[in-house]
Structures are given as C-alpha cells and as structure tokens.
Amino acid sequence: MKQFFKSIGDKARNGIATVKCKLADCKGDLAVNTIGGIIIAVVIIGLLIVAINAFFPNFFSTMFGAMRTKLNDLW
C-alpha cells in the first residue's frame, strides 16, 4: 500500500515538473547557472586579490620570490 501511494506521488511530481517545463522554458538553465557561478567566483577571487594587494603590498612578490628560490635550489 505504501509503495502504491509512493508511485502515485512520484507520477504526480513528474507530471507537475513536465507541465512546469512546458509552460516555462527550462532549457539552458543549468548552463546559465553554471556560467553565472563561474563569473561570480572569478569576480570574488579578483576582489580578494585586490584586497590582499591593498593591505599587503609585497605579499605576492615575496611569495613568488620564495617559490623561485626554492625551485632554483632544487635544480
């Protein structure tokens, strides 16, 4: 009996989703959301880099210099 009601509920949800996609264009939602997320992530990372450069002006040059020294020592 429980399975019967579950299958009816699943069919109803699938039907509602189908009708919703017929009424509203659902194509491309995943691509648009993914591209939007990537753009937002790039903007946030860019703002973080700008903030680090503003508060710690020599942070990246010191870090890259230390990496260069370590890599050159290994060669």
* pLDDT tens across the length of the chain (75 residues): 778 777 888 878 888 878 777 777 666 677 778 898 999 999 999 999 999 889 988 888 888 999 988 888 877
Distance CA 28, CA 5 (A): 33
Distance CA 65, CA 1 (A): 70
Distance CA 62, CA 74 (A): 19
Output the pLDDT for position 9.
Answer: 82
Output the pLDDT for position 20.
Answer: 75
Distance CA 16, CA 22 (A): 10
Hey, where are the domains in the chain? Answer: 2-74
pTM of this structure: 0.49
Query: DSSP letters of 7-40?
Result: HHHHHHHHHHHHHHHHHS--TTHHHHHHHHHHHH
